[in-house]
Every structure is written in C-alpha cells, then in structure tokens.
C-alpha cells in the first residue's frame, strides 16, 4: 500500500520535463487562473499542474518566500506564473491584488478559492462540550474559510462580471454532509461554502449568461500541515482518528495532492463548460461508504 504519511509524500508532484512542447497543445493556454492559498499542499500541486497545462497561474498567498519559490519552479520550466502577497480576510489587500493582476495579466478567467483550513481553537474536544466552544475562535474559522472565499469571489468577479465570462472553483470538504466529531467551525464554514457555490452558480448564470459558472471541489483526506498532528503520530504512524478515516476510505489510504489535479483541470477547462453549481468529490470512496 502507498505510504503517504511521510514528509516525502507532500512533495511528490514533479513537473513534466518537456513542458514547452506540452504548452503549445494545451487546453488552458491563455487562461489566467488565480489561486488563493497557492503555496499550501494541495494548491501548490494544482498550481504546478495548471501551469504545466498552459495556464498563466497567479499565485496568491501570505508568505512571499514560498510564493516566489513556487513561481520560480514554474517559470524555470517555461511556465507562466506570478506571485502576489495576500490575506483572503483582508478586502483592501484583495483589491490591491486585483489591480496587480490586471496590470500584469490583463484579465482574470478563473478563480480557485483554495485558502482555508481547520482551526484547532474552533474545535470541541472529547473532554469539552458545546458550552466550551470558544466563539472568537469559531468566528476566526468562519472568517478564514467562508469570508475568505466570499471576499476574493466578490472582488475578483468584478472583472468577470464586466467580461460576462468567468469561472470560480471553491473548496468544500467531506465534512459538509457528514460532520466530523470535534470540527465545528471548519465544518460549518465549508457547509456554507457548499451552499454559496450553488447560490452563486444560479445568480451568475441568470444575470450574466452561460459563460459564468461556479463549481466546487470536495477533497477527502490528504495529509497536510494542518491535519498532520490529528491524523499521524510523530513517528508517522496513524493516530486512532487517522486509522478510523483510513477504515472509512474503501481505497484504504489518504489522497496524494496530485490526485486532485485532474478534477481541478477539468473544472478550469472549457471541457466543463456546461457544468455549473456542482461539486466533484475526490476522496477514495469515503463519502459513499456506509462503513458496513
């Protein structure tokens, strides 16, 4: 069985060696794709894959060093990428990003709202009850995940509305329909994103036509920095919770970041031009398994 609990597994994505040949044939050629949280584990793999498929990738993240390194990795291989520092909970920074993107790339074709994650402070632990839930922490989790999706969508879709053409991809979670124990802030924010995705899909298509669409990606479990200590022990073995997740995943393992890329590529490309308000789940069967 593939061991994806190791440090190495977080860095498995490698760029195609013959990128330039690939780019001339690409479906994403000339598409400007903005990715928030681009230096995170999943979105980094997605950024590399989209650049490999010809997109101009605009990486937005908080840490300049990691963003610059990602852009260098892409441009060294002949891909097109830019990095701008952002904070998805800060409207003024996002407005500045919009101007930076328009000045460098001229437009925005696709927005991938990747920034987000669980915040341990907004969990209710086994020895706690709802009465212990820290409401300030809950608000922070909702600010990052829900508002951190709505703000960039509102600010960057101004360009799409003007063009009557745009494509937005949100990130939800398998905890939307089957909430996981402990994780209240993150789950409720992701559930709201799932609803927002459907609402916006209808809103945009009805008001601006069939070139505007909004969909979501729903990853199952992928080992990242934010869930590593919940799912694995310091020696790399699974925690009890990690073991339960694997037992509930028919494929018997966690996902590898590159395994999300095909679904995102499909949503970004015109191959999915009639797809609107939908969610693609990539979870090794977790969502579909009854446990029996």
Active site residues: 186
Q: Tell me if 71 contacts ligand NAD by CB under 6 A.
A: no
Check residue 224 for interaction with ligand NAD (CB under 6 A): yes
By the rule CB under 6 A, 70 interacts with ligand NAD: no
Q: With CB under 6 A as the contact rule, which of the stretches 113-121, 157-165, 197-205, 242-250 interacts with ligand NAD?
A: 113-121
87 binds ligand NAD (CB under 6 A): yes
Closer residue to ligand NAD in complex, CB, 29/63 = 63
Candidate segments 114-122, 132-140, 194-202, 262-270, binder of ligand NAD by CB under 6 A: 114-122
Candidates 12-20, 40-48, 68-76, 237-245; binding stretch for ligand NAD (CB under 6 A): 40-48
Out of 48, 57, 101, 115, the residue judged to bind ligand NAD by CB under 6 A: 115
List, as one string, the DSSP characters of the chain.
----SSTGGGG-----TTHHHHHHT-TTTT-EEEEETTTSHHHHHHHHHHHHTTPEEEEEES-HHHHHHHHHHHHHTT-EEEEEE--TT-HHHHHHHHHHHHHHHS---EEEE------GGGB--TT--GGG--HHHHHHHHIIIIIHHHHHHHHHHHHHHHHT-EEEEEE--TTTTSPPSSBHHHHHHHHHHHHHHHHHHHHHHHHH-TTEEEEEEEE--B--HHHHHHHB-TTSPBPHHHHHHHHTSTT-SPBPGGGGHHHHHHHHSGGGTT--S-EEEESTTGGG----
Q: Any contact of residue 12 with ligand NAD (CB under 6 A)?
A: no
- Give me the sheet containing 166-171, strands edge to edge: 80-85, 56-61, 32-36, 110-113, 166-171, 212-219, 279-282
Over the window 126 to 145, marking each residue x when it contacts ligand NAD by CB under 6 A and - when it does not, the resulting string is ------------------x-
Q: Does 196 help bind ligand NAD (rule: CB under 6 A)?
A: no
Per DSSP, the residues of 205-236 read: HHHH-TTEEEEEEEE--B--HHHHHHHB-TTS
246 binds ligand NAD per the rule CB under 6 A: no
Closer residue to ligand NAD (CB): 167 or 173: 173
Q: Does 114 bind ligand NAD (CB under 6 A)?
A: yes
Stretch that binds ligand NAD, among 15-23, 36-44, 102-110, 234-242 (CB under 6 A): 36-44
Using the rule CB under 6 A, is 148 a contact of ligand NAD? yes
List binders of ligand NAD among 161-190 (CB under 6 A): 171, 173
Residues at the contact surface with ligand NAD, assessed by CB under 6 A: 36-37, 39-43, 61-62, 86-89, 114-117, 144, 148, 171, 173, 219, 221-222, 224-227
């Amino acid at each position: 069985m593939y061991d994806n609990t190791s440090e190495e597994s977080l860095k498995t994505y490698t760029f195609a060696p013959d990128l330039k040949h690939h780019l001339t044939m690409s479906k994403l050629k000339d598409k400007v794709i903005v990715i928030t949280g681009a230096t995170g584990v999943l979105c980094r793999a997605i950024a590399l894959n989209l650049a490999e498929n010809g997109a101009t990738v605009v990486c937005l993240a908080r840490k300049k060093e990691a963003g610059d390194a990602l852009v260098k990795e892409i441009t060294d291989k002949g891909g097109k990428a830019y990095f701008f520092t952002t904070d998805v909970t800060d409207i003024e920074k996002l407005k500045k990003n919009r101007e930076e993107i328009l000045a460098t790339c001229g437009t925005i074709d696709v927005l991938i709202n990747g920034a987000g994650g669980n915040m341990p402070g907004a969990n209710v632990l086994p020895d706690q009850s709802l009465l212990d839930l820290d409401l300030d922490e809950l608000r922070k989790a909702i600010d990052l995940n829900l508002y951190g999706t709505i703000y960039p969508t509102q600010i960057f879709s101004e360009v799409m509305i003007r063009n009557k053409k745009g494509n937005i991809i949100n990130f939800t979670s398998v905890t939307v329909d089957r909430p996981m124990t402990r994780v209240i802030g993150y789950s409720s924010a992701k559930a709201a994103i799932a609803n927002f995705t459907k609402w916006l899909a209808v809103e945009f298509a009805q008001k601006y036509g069939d070139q505007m669409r909004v969909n979501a990606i729903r990853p199952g479990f992928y080992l990242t920095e934010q869930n590593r200590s919940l799912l694995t022990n310091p020696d790399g073995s699974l925690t009890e919770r990690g073991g339960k997740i694997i037992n509930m995943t028919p494929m018997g393992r966690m996902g590898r970041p590159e395994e999300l890329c095909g679904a995102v590529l499909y949503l970004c490309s015109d191959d999915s031009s009639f797809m609107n308000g939908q969610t693609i789940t990539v979870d090794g069967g977790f969502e579909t398994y009854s446990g029996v």
